């Protein structure tokens, strides 16, 4: 990833979305050439010179202090995810050659993590890595995401953008793809020199116009909790709540769990899916033993 261009485009897109009125500034001049704030307005809000801010927006974050980054975050009204992304870009820009070497990512999960997944019988649970590959799941998790698990290496990003089945599986496909790319943007900032991740972005950019458009927006968002609506091929439409957790002992791995609100049709459908998945697993086991 070209860190300078990432910084330049991130700051310029954040500036463009913020109007003087939103920033609490008088809108001087009738004809504004830019849709959002001018550079001099951002520099005023951040308490830095116009020349210094111009240097930053051109992608040069070398030597920038945390206090300046915090001032920029306030001036541009960045949320927590965007602020963290700005700091990640700064760390990448100031990293030594040794620090730029990507860390080795997990290609499998530890047996104890799989046992944890298997012990969670009442809720779908899955573990993914930073490449958005599912490395493990419990029986109900595989059943819930059955359309995604048709591939040898299930990947939520490739499924969402390259598999036509995703449009039917995700009831809110447009929102899901927005959230997914925003999460991937955050990952790109944390690991800008990871070749495998860059290859994934390049593949999706080449093959999906939707991905290419969303990637160019430079939106960043945490993907920690929320509601998803799925149209499952076995039980029909489900509305489920997801929670995502990082696994501290396994950097880069994320555990996601799914539940339905008590007393809702989705809860009943999730129970039906659990029964179907258990029966299917028993039949598969019987065939293996035979």
Summarize pLDDT for 112-149 with one digit per residue, the tens.
999 999 999 889 999 999 999 999 999 999 999 999 99
Residue whose token pair is 């790109």: 188
Q: What angle do CA 277, 143, 114 make, to 5 degrees?
A: 95
Q: What confidence score (pLDDT) does residue 278 get?
A: 86
Q: What confidence score (pLDDT) does residue 284 get?
A: 53
d(CA 50, CA 44): 8
- What is the end-to-end Cα distance of the chain in Å, rounded? 52
What structural domains and CATH numbers belong to the chain? 3-93 (1.10.260.40), 111-289 (3.30.450.180)
Contact yes or no for 175/142 (Cβ under 8 A): no
Q: What confidence score (pLDDT) does residue 95 get?
A: 79
Burial 134-158 (b: 16+ CB within 10 A, else e): bbbbbbbbbbbbbbbbeeeebbbbb
**Using 50, 70 and 90 to split pLDDT, how confident is the model at 285?**
low
Percent pLDDT > 70 in the chain is: 90
* Token pair for 145: 């995401």
Residue 82 dihedral angles phi and psi, to the nearest 5°:
-70, -40
Mutual orientation of helices 195-207 and 209-216 as an angle, nearest 10°?
Answer: 120
**What is the DSSP pairing of strand 125-128 with strand 254-259?**
antiparallel
HSE-CB for 89 with a 13 A CA cutoff: 28
Q: What confidence score (pLDDT) does residue 17 get?
A: 94
Mean pLDDT of the chain: 91
pLDDT of 240-262, one tens digit each? 999 999 999 998 999 999 999 99
pLDDT of 89-117, one tens digit each? 999 988 766 555 656 666 789 999 999 99
Q: What confidence score (pLDDT) does residue 101 get?
A: 63
| Sign for the pseudo-dihedral over CA of 219, 223, 226, 230 | positive
d(CA 104, CA 96): 18
The helix/strand/coil state of 135 is strand
- How many other CB atoms sit within 10 Å of the CB of residue 35? 10
Containing 1, the helix (H) or strand (E) segment is none
d(CA 215, CA 200): 12
**Using 50, 70 and 90 to split pLDDT, how confident is the model at 76?**
very high
Contact yes or no for 18/37 (Cβ under 8 A): yes
* Token pair for 269: 């459908």
Sequential DSSP letters for 202-246? HHHHHH-HHHHHHHHTT-----SEEEEEEEETTTEEEEEEEEEEE
* Token pair for 100: 């730029």
pLDDT of 181-204, one tens digit each? 999 999 999 888 899 999 999 999
Strands (E), the chain: 125-128, 134-137, 225-232, 236-246, 254-259
Q: What confidence score (pLDDT) does residue 33 get?
A: 73
Average pLDDT over residues 10-23: 93
């Amino acid at each position: 990833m070209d860190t300078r261009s990432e910084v330049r485009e991130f700051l310029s897109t954040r500036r463009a979305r913020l109007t003087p009125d939103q920033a609490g500034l008088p809108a001087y001049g009738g004809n504004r050439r830019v849709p959002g704030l001018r550079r001099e307005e951002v520099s005023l809000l951040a308490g830095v010179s116009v020349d210094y801010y111009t240097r930053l927006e051109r992608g040069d974050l070398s030597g920038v202090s945390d206090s300046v980054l915090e001032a920029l975050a306030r001036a541009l009204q960045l949320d927590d995810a965007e602020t963290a992304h700005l700091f990640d870009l700064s760390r990448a820009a100031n990293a030594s050659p040794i620090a730029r070497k990507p860390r080795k990512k997990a290609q499998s999960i530890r047996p104890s993590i799989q046992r944890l997944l298997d012990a969670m019988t009442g809720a779908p649970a899955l573990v993914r890595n930073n490449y958005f590959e599912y490395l493990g799941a419990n029986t109900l998790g595989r059943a819930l995401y059955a359309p995604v698990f048709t591939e040898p290496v299930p990947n939520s990003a490739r499924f969402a953008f390259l598999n036509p089945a995703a449009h039917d599986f995700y009831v809110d496909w447009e929102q899901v793809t927005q959230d997914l790319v925003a999460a991937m943007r955050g990952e790109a900032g944390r690991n800008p020199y990871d070749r495998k991740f860059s290859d994934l972005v390049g593949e999706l950019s080449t093959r999906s116009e939707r991905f290419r458009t969303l990637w160019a927006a430079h939106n960043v968002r945490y993907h920690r909790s929320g509601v998803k609506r799925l149209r499952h091929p076995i039980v029909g439409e489900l509305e489920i709540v997801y929670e995502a957790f990082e696994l501290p002992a396994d950097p880069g791995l994320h555990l996601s769990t799914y539940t339905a609100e008590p007393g809702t049709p989705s809860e009943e459908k999730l129970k039906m899916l659990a029964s179907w998945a258990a029966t299917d697993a028993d039949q598969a086991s019987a065939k293996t033993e035979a």
